[in-house]
Amino acid sequence: MKKVRVNKKDLLEILCENRKKHKEQYKVSIKAFRVKAADLLNKELQKIIAGKKFETYFDLQKPVSHEKDYDLVIKMVEMSVDDILELEQNEFNQLVNDEWTWKSSFRSEIYSNSGYSGSSGISGTSGSSGINYSEYLAENSDEYFIPITFPDDENENSEEDEQ
């Protein structure tokens, strides 16, 4: 079968559901990316503080949202004057089965930052640094606040306290 005729209303429901799933996957993926980045940066910061050699380059895949791709197709379907739409096989696979041309790279971005391919994860203590990043994620925010104390700072404060 090379073509199929689909009900516009049914197609819109599927597209909206697929968009919703993608948005949630992206949200989780970007948080995992930030946790992994914070873990890597913290490890290098610990080396800097200790006066050891450190890295300044990290090979991280930042997730990309394709929400606009869904928005465009949804708007096109909504504006169609036809109640029955004809889809080619590749369009059906993309729109109904949610298998877009970018889907495999999106999955790769998700897995590369999710802890499946490294020591970081979205929850709990991350890596060997011993920092629980979830404590520093502001509620309803994507920003992290990680307190940093240099060993020399602690010594200076204790000397000031003694005076």
Distance CA 162, CA 50 (A): 26
Residue 129: CB partners within 8 Å, gap ≥ 6? 39, 42, 43, 46
> Does 123 have pLDDT greater than 60?
no
> Does 129 have pLDDT greater than 60?
no
Let me know: does 45 contact 148? Beta carbons within 8 Å: yes
Residues in the chain: 163
What pLDDT, on a 0 to 100 scale, did the predictor assign at position 86? 97
For the ranges 58-67, 89-98, 147-156, the one whose mean pLDDT is highest = 89-98
Per-chain mean pLDDT for the chain: 78
